[in-house]
Amino acid sequence: MPQRAEATDEIALTQRIMRAGPKRDVAAEEQFCRRFAPRIRMFGLKRLRDDAAAADLVQDVLLLVLDKLRAGEVREPDQICGFVFGTARQLVIDSRRTSGRRTRLLDTFVADLEPAGESVSHTFDTDRLRHCLQLLAERERAVLVMTFYDDCPADELGTRLGLSAGNVRVIRHRGIERLRDCVQGRRKEPT
Amino acid sequence: MRPDATLLAWWLDELDEEEANDVEAHLFECEECGARLRELLELGAGVKRALLEGHVAGAVSGKFINRLREDGLNIREYRVASGDSVACTVAPDDDVVVSYLQAPLAGVRQLDAVFDDHTGTHRATHIPFNAAANEVTFIAPTALLKTWGVAQQRVRLLAVTQGAERVVGEYTFRHSPWPQHGA
């Protein structure tokens, strides 16, 4: 099966970092961080539900992965995505993680991770979003507001509203589509 | 590629462990899915912000209001029986204004609400309600109310069945602005 172009890029970056070893290919490391930081952050936010903890996780994972790449300890560079994922998962699970190691690594490399990429932001027009929200059907608005206020899953929300979880998912999906279309101007007014 | 619905279900902890692991591994490989999920969550953050800034109006559940209260929001509440009139206001530091409209809702399948005030008439259809509690919980648009002077709003709840409708509750809100400092 052919690999995705972006995966090929990631493998190429991985190989560059490994080849440079302790001498370091700073440009490749920066690109590597820009690619993986948003993915680790998303994973961290989901698992930890905390911005600061997710930001810490991004740094911890990247520092550890780069450390291992420079030391030539990654055996399958073509599986780098899985390696980063496994490292992130292990760090979340591992309650024995000590601050000592993190401090040592940060002291050594923190300056390199300063530009570690933030994701592209899809900023919505606030006034437009408010307007579009009020144009949604009552149930759609209720479901979206109650879902996104505290990341409420469909079964719990269904209990609150007297609906089945499946019904909540349908309403949620339809509401998101209409809201997004309205906000992005693809549809003037939800019906 | 994973559908938006699957990505959101992962985010909301609705998937079983195997499905969740599969989505997580995929998100570490797929830039596009990650970008789509981030966009979705930013939209959700905008919805939450609209609520917290007082720009959302509509029916929600009573438990949701409890959650807002637990989170420390300032909530002004009015519990109104059918046929009653209530004097109401909104304080500068109120985050949410809630009305609990009481009505006989047993057996009602579709409930609509008609709002009449100086801005016009607005009908909301298929509003969520709590039949067991005989109650509808409405969040008012707090930011808008803070701009109102003396005003009156009538609300009627209508039970709708196949082309026919009947009034199950009528309520009058007599709004006064919060007194100005030194007035």
Single-letter residue type at A184: Q
Query: Can you give the three-state secondary structure of B112-181, one letter per residue?
Result: EEEEEECCEEEEECCCCCECCCCEEEEEECHHHHCCCCCEEEEEEEEEEECCEEEEEEEEEEEECCCCCC
* pLDDT digit string, tens, across residues B108-163: 999 999 999 999 999 999 999 999 999 999 999 999 999 999 999 999 999 999 88
What domains are defined for chain A?
A: 5-113 (1.10.1740), 126-183 (1.10.10.10)
- Global ipTM: 0.93
Nearest CA in chain B to A150: B48
What domains are defined for chain B?
A: 4-51 (no CATH), 57-175 (2.60.40)
Residues 15-74 of chain B with CB under 8 A from chain A are 24-25, 27-31, 34-35, 37-40, 42-51, 55-61, 63-64, 67-68
pLDDT at position A123, please? 72
Chain-centre distance for alpha carbon A182:
25
Return the bridge partners of B76, or none: B97
C-alpha–C-alpha distance, residues B154 and B149, integer Å: 16
| Mean pLDDT of the region A27-41 | 95
Share of chain B above pLDDT 90, in %: 95
| pTM: predicted TM-score of the whole model, two decimal places | 0.86
Which tokens is B147 given?
């701009």
pLDDT at position A124, please? 80
Exposed e or buried b for every residue in B56-89, given b needs 16+ CB within 10 A? bbbbbbebbbebbeeeeeebbebebebeeeeebb
Share of chain A above pLDDT 90, in %: 69
Which tokens is A78 given?
């073509």
Biggest CA–CA distance in chain B, Å, is 64
The answer to whether B58 and A141 are in contact (CB under 8 A) is yes
* pLDDT digit string, tens, across residues A62-97: 999 999 999 999 999 999 999 999 999 999 987 445
- Partners of residue B48 in chain A, C-beta under 8 Å: 145, 148-149
| Mean pLDDT of the region A8-36 | 94
C-alpha–C-alpha distance, residues B76 and B98, integer Å: 6
